[in-house]
């Protein structure tokens, strides 16, 4: 039996193992997470930062994106990715992979992106990338690659981008297999050990290469003596750390070059000039880390007629005089990043009559340069991350075409009403991260085209009525700050097309949202909402003026327990997404969502909620995403009757859940994503059902389920939650079935045996028991006999009884006899009549024939009479045989055979013609007083 039980446990364990590790059914992955996506064609599996030493074998076979980054993988074996034929993206960056088996990617026929950055690869072998015929992008940055096999890239017939930055390549011939690829566009080789790049070292006639990055290499020579790069459009030589010998035999060899990046402390001006003189088609030039003769280099660059954009980064240009950009009249974009610029002369940009974009990010400008006032063609202006403190009314004079202005991260504390008065076409204005406290009448000027305005992370604003009255085209307004604003009624009047608003306030007031009928996205940051209800006049719902609102976000930073109005969301019939953080610190009103029937996503996080009623969710049956993380829930029973049939994403991390009833999830038929991280789960039998559900269900992914640890009991702390042995919690079903079936078989056999061999004995015992009970009652009552004899006979012998017996015994001898057809009480049970007749008579006369012996009722009568015989030890039984029956033929008839062996009996056939003696013998038997029964066999009476 024990062996059978062990086999059953093994089968159960094996079944669980197969379900858990079947790649097609594994939703609660052991070391990975499936990223939730409504796009059924994408299955994104994340296995990042799990400490993995091998690629997990439970990754679903239909995965399309796989991330294995930041683990401890040492190699990729041949069979590790065998069944992942649907992968389109594979990311294995930041591991320690030093070896990839030949053909390891052979089954990834759909792979388009392979990222192997930050590993320990030293060489690329012939068959390493076998099977990757659809691969478009291959990144191998930050490895230790020093050698590339000539055949390593021959199977990559679709490859367009190869990144080999930060490796140890030193021979230009190693990249020959890459530049030969007919589809190659970008080749990034920054920070390797190339000392020269010469076309003579590349055994090819022509390449389709378009982007070549050689920055960070110790190049001493760059030579192109043949027209092998007719499509090369971008070339990067930044930070090459040495003076380069530039040898381009014919300018036409770089005729397609439009982008060039140069920059290094050690490259001479002469070298730079030689480079620029061979690039007649150059459109964009980036200069970084230029510290010598920067003005001369700018002049040389601006003599290239095709040049349109000039980027100068991290090069010291503290001031710009009238001559520096005089020859750059053709430029449309000028970028000066982190140059230390503090001053531009008044006429320094006067020649740049085509300039459309000017970026002066990260400099030391104290004010808006006067030089900008003449740039009537300027469309984009970036003055962020400077030290500008004031904006003058004339600073943006004549910039009538400006559509983008960025003034973030400055020191502006005040804006005059005339600051932007001439910017009629401005669409994007960024004023965040300054010291603004007021903007007076700044936005009352005609900025009718402004679409985006950011004023976040400034000082304490006081928003007065009609401050934004002329911004009729504004769509996005950011007023988010750690310092709440005071907002007056009708403060946003005129913002007829505003779609998104982010605002920091102290408490809700309905008046502040008047006029925002087109608002779709609202984010409110509260510093305190303790007085929220009292701020709402006449208890009017705070968002009743926002009929088109689809997204509402409420965040509280430092709040006491708020008094949230029960009709908080009244009027938001179009709301689809609601998020609150530290907002509901007591409970949720049962009718909170009755006005938001279209709600699809609900997040209530970092609150003190410990329980919810199911009725809260009844008005929002279409809810798909529910996030209740970082609360104090200890039970999920409220979800069982919530009616969330469409819910597919549920996050409950950071609560106090210890025991989880798996039946709750049966009420969520669409659930695909379940996050229960950071709960105090108990490893006891109370969670056995949930553990089995996690391991066996094939629809819902329990995120990081295999990383959950036991919090209780103390003996289990630190153990894996899903490793808890649940077999000890249940009776072995197979063992129980075995016991039941065995018992049934034994019972059936026993019943058959008793029926076949002991049925008469049991019947006899039953009737003896009934007689015994009757006799006890009769003795207690001391009831006298009513009859001299009870005649027990079969209906077939009835004629003889009436014709022969009754005339003699009742007529001639005067005995009072009891006959069943005559003296039994009607309506009384037969057994009870028989018992009373036997015990109510002094004697019992049994008229025995073969019919008598086969009669059920006659059998019962003689059984009771025989019990009285042996119980009372009196001669109360007279046996009268109507025919000769051999003794051996009566062996089946209960105790009859035993009775005739011990009792005197009369035989009618043997009486013959001498019936007188027969009846006299009966008379003597009836007259005999009770005496002890004779247990010896008597002689036959004639």
Is residue 779 over pLDDT 70? no
Q: Report the relative pairing of strands 649-651 and 673-675 from DSSP bridges.
A: parallel
DSSP E strands in 668-786: the ranges are 673-675, 701-703
| pLDDT tens-digit series, residues 177-217 | 999 999 999 999 999 999 999 999 998 899 999 999 999 99
Distance of alpha carbon 282 from alpha carbon 566, whole angstroms: 65
Q: Could you count the other beta carbons within 10 Å of the beta carbon of residue 917?
A: 11
Q: What is the distance of C-alpha 938 from the center of its chain?
A: 94
User: At 770, is the pLDDT very low, low, confident or very high (cuts 50, 70, 90)?
Assistant: low
Residue 857 lies in a domain: yes
* Mean pLDDT, range 236-260, rounded to an integer: 91
pLDDT at 874: 67
Q: Report the relative pairing of strands 137-139 and 161-163 from DSSP bridges.
A: parallel
Structural domain count, the chain: 1
For residue 441 the two structure tokens come to 């009448």
DSSP E strands in 708-805: the ranges are 787-792
Full 3-state SS string of 718-746: CCEHHHCCHHHHCCCHHHHHHHHHHHHHH
Is residue 939 over pLDDT 50? no
Residue 650 lies in a domain: no
Residue 869: give its domain's CATH number: 3.40.50.10140
Q: Which of 256-260, 543-547, 933-937 has the highest mean pLDDT?
A: 256-260
Distance of alpha carbon 532 from alpha carbon 506, whole angstroms: 9
Domain range spanning residue 793?
758-927
Report which of residues 334 and 791 the model is more confident about.
334
Distance of alpha carbon 741 from alpha carbon 884, whole angstroms: 50
* Mean pLDDT, range 907-925, rounded to an integer: 82
Q: Which residues, in sequence order, are bridge partners of residue 114?
A: 90, 138
Report which of residues 445 and 256 the model is more confident about.
256
Provide the H-helix boundaries in 474-594: none
Q: What percent of the chain has pLDDT over 70?
A: 86
Q: What are phi and psi of 479, to 5 degrees?
A: -125, 30
Q: What are phi and psi of 717, to 5 degrees?
A: -60, 135
Q: What is the distance of C-alpha 27 from the center of its chain?
A: 8
Residue 832 lies in a domain: yes
Segment among 129-138, 428-437, 459-468, 829-838 with least mean pLDDT: 829-838
In 3-state terms, what secondary structure has residue 492? coil
Full 3-state SS string of 361-399: CCCCCCCCCHHHHHCCCCCEEECCCCCCCCCCCCCCCCC
Residue 919 lies in a domain: yes
- For every residue of 763-781, DSSP letters joined together read HHHHHHHHHHHHHHHHHHH
Q: What are phi and psi of 19, to 5 degrees?
A: -65, -40
User: At 892, is the pLDDT very low, low, confident or very high (cuts 50, 70, 90)?
Assistant: very low
DSSP 802: I
Q: Which residues, in sequence order, are bridge partners of residue 380?
A: 357, 404
User: At 902, is the pLDDT very low, low, confident or very high (cuts 50, 70, 90)?
Assistant: low
For residue 431 the two structure tokens come to 């004023």
For residue 678 the two structure tokens come to 């950071």
Distance of alpha carbon 496 from alpha carbon 517, whole angstroms: 7
| pLDDT tens-digit series, residues 806-833 | 888 888 888 999 988 888 878 777 777 7
Is residue 890 over pLDDT 80? no
User: At 4, is the pLDDT very low, low, confident or very high (cuts 50, 70, 90)?
Assistant: very low
For residue 309 the two structure tokens come to 């954009």
DSSP 586: S
Classify burial at 912, counting beta carbons within 10 Å of its beta carbon; exposed 0-12, middle 13-18, buried 19 or more: exposed
* Mean pLDDT, range 458-482, rounded to an integer: 89
pLDDT at 755: 72
Distance of alpha carbon 198 from alpha carbon 201, whole angstroms: 6
For the chain, helix, strand, coil in percent to 5 are 25, 20, 55
* Mean pLDDT, range 590-618, rounded to an integer: 93
* Mean pLDDT, range 523-540, rounded to an integer: 62
* Mean pLDDT, range 313-331, rounded to an integer: 94
Nearest Cα to 303, choosing from 276, 267, 323?
A: 276
| pLDDT tens-digit series, residues 545-570 | 899 999 999 998 865 555 677 888 99
For residue 782 the two structure tokens come to 């001391």
Q: Could you count the other beta carbons within 10 Å of the beta carbon of residue 492?
A: 27
User: At 464, is the pLDDT very low, low, confident or very high (cuts 50, 70, 90)?
Assistant: confident
Average pLDDT, the chain: 86
- For every residue of 820-859, DSSP letters joined together read HHHHSPTTS-HHHHHHHHHHTEEEEEEEE-HHHHH-HHHH
User: At 102, is the pLDDT very low, low, confident or very high (cuts 50, 70, 90)?
Assistant: very high
Question: In sequence order, which residues have a C-beta less than 8 Å from that of residue 53 and are 6 or more positions away?
Answer: 71, 72, 73, 74
User: At 22, is the pLDDT very low, low, confident or very high (cuts 50, 70, 90)?
Assistant: very low
Question: In sequence order, which residues have a C-beta less than 8 Å from that of residue 856 and are 6 or more positions away?
Answer: none
Is residue 451 over pLDDT 90? yes
Residue 298 lies in a domain: no
Classify burial at 487, counting beta carbons within 10 Å of its beta carbon; exposed 0-12, middle 13-18, buried 19 or more: buried
User: At 776, is the pLDDT very low, low, confident or very high (cuts 50, 70, 90)?
Assistant: low
User: At 148, is the pLDDT very low, low, confident or very high (cuts 50, 70, 90)?
Assistant: very high
Is residue 794 over pLDDT 50? yes
Report which of residues 906 and 114 the model is more confident about.
114
Distance of alpha carbon 387 from alpha carbon 385, whole angstroms: 7
Distance of alpha carbon 878 from alpha carbon 791, whole angstroms: 10
pLDDT at 346: 93
User: At 506, is the pLDDT very low, low, confident or very high (cuts 50, 70, 90)?
Assistant: confident
* Mean pLDDT, range 634-656, rounded to an integer: 94
Segment among 68-77, 153-162, 237-246, 620-629 with least mean pLDDT: 237-246
* Mean pLDDT, range 494-501, rounded to an integer: 93
Q: What percent of the chain has pLDDT over 90?
A: 54
What distance, in Å, lies between the first and last C-alpha atoms of the chain? Answer: 68
DSSP 444: G
Residue 888 lies in a domain: yes
Q: Could you count the other beta carbons within 10 Å of the beta carbon of residue 169?
A: 18
Helix axes 733-757, 759-781, angle to 10 degrees: 80
In 3-state terms, what secondary structure has residue 20? helix
- For every residue of 284-299, DSSP letters joined together read EEEEES--SSHHHHHH
Distance of alpha carbon 311 from alpha carbon 313, whole angstroms: 6
Residue 768 lies in a domain: yes
| pLDDT tens-digit series, residues 845-874 | 888 888 877 776 666 666 666 666 555 556
Nearest Cα to 838, choosing from 816, 815, 868?
A: 868
Segment among 112-126, 133-147, 775-789 with least mean pLDDT: 775-789
Distance of alpha carbon 747 from alpha carbon 420, whole angstroms: 100
Sheet holding 221-224, edge to edge: 196-198, 221-224, 245-248
pLDDT at 732: 59
Report which of residues 897 and 663 the model is more confident about.
663
Cα-based angle 286, 292, 297 (whole degrees, multiple of 5): 45
DSSP 734: H
Is residue 25 over pLDDT 50? no
Residue 881 lies in a domain: yes
pLDDT at 929: 59
User: At 302, is the pLDDT very low, low, confident or very high (cuts 50, 70, 90)?
Assistant: very high
Distance of alpha carbon 48 from alpha carbon 704, whole angstroms: 12
User: At 15, is the pLDDT very low, low, confident or very high (cuts 50, 70, 90)?
Assistant: very low
Distance of alpha carbon 375 from alpha carbon 359, whole angstroms: 13
pLDDT at 557: 80
pLDDT at 868: 63
pLDDT at 632: 93
In 3-state terms, what secondary structure has residue 309? strand
Distance of alpha carbon 238 from alpha carbon 922, whole angstroms: 142
User: At 21, is the pLDDT very low, low, confident or very high (cuts 50, 70, 90)?
Assistant: very low
Distance of alpha carbon 306 from alpha carbon 568, whole angstroms: 61
């Amino acid at each position: 039996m024990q062996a059978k039980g062990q086999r059953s446990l093994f089968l159960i364990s094996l079944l669980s193992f197969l379900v858990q590790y079947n790649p097609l059914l594994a939703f609660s992955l052991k070391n990975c997470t499936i990223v939730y996506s409504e796009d059924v064609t994408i299955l994104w599996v994340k296995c990042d930062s799990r400490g993995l030493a091998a690629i997990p074998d439970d990754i679903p076979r239909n995965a399309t994106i796989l991330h294995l980054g930041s683990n401890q993988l040492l190699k990729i074996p041949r069979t590790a990715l065998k069944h992942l034929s649907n992968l389109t993206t594979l990311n294995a960056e930041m591991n320690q992979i030093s070896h990839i088996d030949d053909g390891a990617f052979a089954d990834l026929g759909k792979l388009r992106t392979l990222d192997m950055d930050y590993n320990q690869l030293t060489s690329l072998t012939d068959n390493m990338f076998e099977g990757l015929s659809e691969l478009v992008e291959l990144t191998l940055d930050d490895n230790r690659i020093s050698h590339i096999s000539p055949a390593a890239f021959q199977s990559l017939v679709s490859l367009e981008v190869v990144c080999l930055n930060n490796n140890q390549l030193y021979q230009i011939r190693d990249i020959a297999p890459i530049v030969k690829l007919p589809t190659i566009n970008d080749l990034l080789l920054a920070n390797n050990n190339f000392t020269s790049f010469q076309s003579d070292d590349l055994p090819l006639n022509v390449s389709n290469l378009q982007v070549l990055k050689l920055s960070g290499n110790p190049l001493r020579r760059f030579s192109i003596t043949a027209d092998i790069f007719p499509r090369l459009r971008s070339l990067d030589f930044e930070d090459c750390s040495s003076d380069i010998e530039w040898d381009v035999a014919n300018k036409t060899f770089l005729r397609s070059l439009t982008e060039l990046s140069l920059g290094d402390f050690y490259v001479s001006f002469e070298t730079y000039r030689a480079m620029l003189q061979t690039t007649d088609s150059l459109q964009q030039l980036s200069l970084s880390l230029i510290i010598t003769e920067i003005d001369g280099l700018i002049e040389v660059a601006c003599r290239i007629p095709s040049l349109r954009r000039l980027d100068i980064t991290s090069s010291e240009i503290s001031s710009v005089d009238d001559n520096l950009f005089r020859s750059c009249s053709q430029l449309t974009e000028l970028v000066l990043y982190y140059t230390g610029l503090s001053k531009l002369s008044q006429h320094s940009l006067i020649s740049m009559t085509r300039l459309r974009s000017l970026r002066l990010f990260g400099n030391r400008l104290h004010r808006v340069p006067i030089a900008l006032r003449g740039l009537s063609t300027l469309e984009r202006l970036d003055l962020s991350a400077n030290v500008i403190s004031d904006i003058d009314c004339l600073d943006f004079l004549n910039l009538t075409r400006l559509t983008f202005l960025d003034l973030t991260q400055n020191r502006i504390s005040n804006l005059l009403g005339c600051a932007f008065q001439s910017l009629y076409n401005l669409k994007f204005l960024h004023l965040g991260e300054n010291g603004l406290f007021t903007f007076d009448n700044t936005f009352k000027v005609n900025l009718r085209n402004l679409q985006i305005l950011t004023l976040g992370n400034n000082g304490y604003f006081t928003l007065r009525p009609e401050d934004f009255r002329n911004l009729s085209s504004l769509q996005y307004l950011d007023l988010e700050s750690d310092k709440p604003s005071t907002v007056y009624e009708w403060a946003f009047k005129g913002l007829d097309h505003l779609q998104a608003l982010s605002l920091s306030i102290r408490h809700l007031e309905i008046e502040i949202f008047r006029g925002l009928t087109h608002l779709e996205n609202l984010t409110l940051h509260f510093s305190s909402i303790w007085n929220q209800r009292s701020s709402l006049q006449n208890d009017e719902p705070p968002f009743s003026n926002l009929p088109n609102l689809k997204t509402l976000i409420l965040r509280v930073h430092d709040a006491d327990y708020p008094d949230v109005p029960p009709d908080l969301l009244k009027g938001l019939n179009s709301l689809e997404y609601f998020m609150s953080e530290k907002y509901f610190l007591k409970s949720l009103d049962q009718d909170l969502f009755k006005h938001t029937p279209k709600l699809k996503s609900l997040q209530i996080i970092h609150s003190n909620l410990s329980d919810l009623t199911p009725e809260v969710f009844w008005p929002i049956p279409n809810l798909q995403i529910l996030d209740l993380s970082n609360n104090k829930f200890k039970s999920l029973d409220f979800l069982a009757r919530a009616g969330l049939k469409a819910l597919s994403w549920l996050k409950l991390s950071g609560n106090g859940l210890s025991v989880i009833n798996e039946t709750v999830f049966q009420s969520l038929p669409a659930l695909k994503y379940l996050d229960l991280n950071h709960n105090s789960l108990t490893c006891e039998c109370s969670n056995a059902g949930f553990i089995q559900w996690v391991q066996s269900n094939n629809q819902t992914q329990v995120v990081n389920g295999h990383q959950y640890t036991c919090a209780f009991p103390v003996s289990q702390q630190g153990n894996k939650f899903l490793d808890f042995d649940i077999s000890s919690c249940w009776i072995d079903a197979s063992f129980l079935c075995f016991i039941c079936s065995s018992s049934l078989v034994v019972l059936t056999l026993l019943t058959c045996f008793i029926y076949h061999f002991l049925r008469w004995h049991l019947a006899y015992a039953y009737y003896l028991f009934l007689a015994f009970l009757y006799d006890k009652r009769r003795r207690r009552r001391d009831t006298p006999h009513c009859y001299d004899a009870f005649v027990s006979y079969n209906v077939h012998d009835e004629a003889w009884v009436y014709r022969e017996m009754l005339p003699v015994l009742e007529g001639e001898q005067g005995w009072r006899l009891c006959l069943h057809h005559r003296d039994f009480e009607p309506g009384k049970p037969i057994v009870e009549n028989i018992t009373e007749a036997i015990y109510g008579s002094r004697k019992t006369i049994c008229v025995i024939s073969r019919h008598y012996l086969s009669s059920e009722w006659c059998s019962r009568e003689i059984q009771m009479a025989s019990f009285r015989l042996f119980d009372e030890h009196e001669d109360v039984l007279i046996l009268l045989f109507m025919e000769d029956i051999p003794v051996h033929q009566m062996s089946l008839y209960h105790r009859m055979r035993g009775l005739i062996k011990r009792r005197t009996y009369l035989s009618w056939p043997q009486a013959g013609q001498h019936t007188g003696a027969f009846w006299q013998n009966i008379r003597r038997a009836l007259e005999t007083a009770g005496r002890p029964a004779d247990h010896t066999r008597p002689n036959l009476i004639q």
